[in-house]
Chains A and B, each alone.
Chain A
């Protein structure tokens, strides 16, 4: 299988519980942020994005929170399902079309 994801922090949650995945970003000038989901052996999939003029954005079962004061981003997944098991990582764009990607968090959903 794909070895990407070794040595990543892991969050284990019970099926049906809410999950919160955190990300610290590096550039205070970054104005656009994305959360991606990556399943083993596959490319990253877009989950949700948020611009710096917002604090919160909601999607289907997902919410992204942005705290610019402490340069922190979080992804909340409601009613976590087995299909949510994957590596999640954030990306920031400081406006130069060069994204900075976090290393990721592995989410394990326990039945």
Chain B
């Protein structure tokens, strides 16, 4: 099956620890995205990547880091510098960035930091 996978579905961490969320796609998409979703708010863009070995900050990048070493993978690290890390995190991909394309979403990871 083609699609986007995120793991784990639920993640619990203690405050002060870094944590890495996985995102993999087998759709051969060039572009990948990370969003954060909080109750009552629209999706907010954390980071995006248009091509391997390149990525750009989104609207709320502070306290997060990413890498794009492979086309299929775009892991997100939530660092201890992120002040309110508890949220639902969504990864997405789209075929390209030279036009307008639908974004395909993964199932999400629910991160809880206590």
Chain A interface residues toward B at CB < 8 A: 2-8, 31-32, 34, 36, 41-46, 49, 51, 89, 91, 93, 95, 97-104
Contact = CB atoms under 8 A, between A and B. Distances in A.
B5 to A, nearest CB: 10
A51 B100 CA distance: 9
Contacts of B88: 2, 4
A93 B40 contact: no
B106 to A, nearest CB: 5
8 nearest A-B residue pairs (beta carbon): A32-B100, A43-B105, A101-B42, A7-B40, A6-B39, A101-B43, A97-B97, A44-B105
Given A31-B100, A97-B50, A45 B105 contact: yes
Given A4-B88, A97-B94, A98-B45, A43 B39 contact: no
B103 interface: yes
Interface residues of B, number: 28
B29 to A, nearest CB: 12
A3 B87 CA distance: 9
B57 to A, nearest CB: 11
Nearest to B100: A32
A98 B105 contact: no
6 contacts: A2-B110, A6-B39, A42-B108, A43-B107, A51-B100, A98-B58
Contacts of A49: 102
A89 B44 CA distance: 13
Nearest to A51: B100
Contacts of B45: 98-99
Contacts of B97: 97
A49 B104 CA distance: 13
B39 A104 contact: no
B41 interface: yes
B48 interface: yes
A46 B27 CA distance: 15
A31 B99 CA distance: 10
Contact of B108 (A43, A91, A97): A43
